[in-house]
Amino acid sequence: MEQELWLVAGLGNPGRQYEKTWHNCGYLVLEVLSQRHQIPLNKIRFKGLTGQGTIAGRKVVLLQPTTYMNLSGESVREAMAFYKIPPQRTLVIYDDLDLPAGQIRMRPSGGAGTHNGMRSIISQLGRQDFPRVRVGIGPLPANWELVSYVLSDIPQDQQKEMFEAFSRAADAVEKTLRDGIEAAMNQANQKKERHESE
């Protein structure tokens, strides 16, 4: 029997000016996975950048939609249709303003919240029962407009914390592939401990 394939999609916006913005957390987590598992994101397919390889003994397609965030669903839907990957093996990684910066949350399904990329995916698929890893970027600072904030660069003094969060989000993806979504949720959804020295 052909081994079951997984799709892991990290959401963001293409282009150098968006590389290190809050809204590109999904892209940045995918880059961690790409480096860890030597899966280069170098093929242009499904309106995105893709790479194929193995993570935790499972075959995966990594996908960075390059449609801009609001149309992410077109890219995800095309990849799922081409490989015949069902929603339960489609894992989406994205930034979430409703979570404190640096916190990770995993869920097997759910709505889009305020996230346009997720809204696009749910709209394109006509369903919301696919697992997701959310990377906290909140709260919205006072006097900031939502769009201006999510498209601003992650400040220097928060980059270390956020890159640790990307690493933990990548761990959550690996745990899902190795042990299943429940085990990954138990690991990922523990509150991040604050060290006394921070």
- Residue 16 burial by Cβ neighbours in a 10 Å radius (0-12, 13-18, 19+): exposed
Contact, 129 vs 87, CB < 8 A?
A: yes
CATH class, range 5-188 = alpha beta
The whole-number average pLDDT for the span 37-41 is 98
Phi, psi of 11 (to 5 degrees): -90, 150
* 196: confidence class by pLDDT, cuts 50, 70, 90: very low
Lowest mean pLDDT: which of 45-49, 105-109, 112-116, 131-135? 112-116
Residues of the chain above pLDDT 90, percent:
92
Q: What is the pLDDT of residues 135-150, one digit of tens each?
A: 999 999 999 999 999 9
Q: How much is the mean pLDDT over the chain?
A: 94
Contact, 148 vs 105, CB < 8 A?
A: no
Quick check: 166 pLDDT over 80? yes
Beta partners for residue 133, in sequence order: 93, 106
Q: Residue 23 catalytic? A: yes
Quick check: 195 pLDDT over 70? no
Quick check: 74 pLDDT over 60? yes
DSSP 8-state secondary structure symbol assigned to residue 151:
T
Quick check: 125 pLDDT over 60? yes
> What is the separation of C-alpha 130 from the centre of its chain, rounded to a whole number of angstroms?
12
Better-predicted residue by pLDDT, 117 or 191: 117
> The pTM is what?
0.94
**Sheet of 48-55: strands edge to edge?**
43-45, 48-55, 58-65, 5-10, 90-100, 132-138, 104-107
The whole-number average pLDDT for the span 95-101 is 96
Catalytic hit among 23, 37, 115, 195: 23
The whole-number average pLDDT for the span 85-101 is 97
Q: What is the pLDDT of residues 167-182, one digit of tens each?
A: 999 999 999 999 999 9
Better-predicted residue by pLDDT, 158 or 196: 158
Quick check: 100 pLDDT over 90? yes
Tokens 């249709």 sit on residue: 81
Q: What share of the chain is helix, strand, coil (3-state, %, to 5)?
A: 40, 25, 35
* 191: confidence class by pLDDT, cuts 50, 70, 90: low
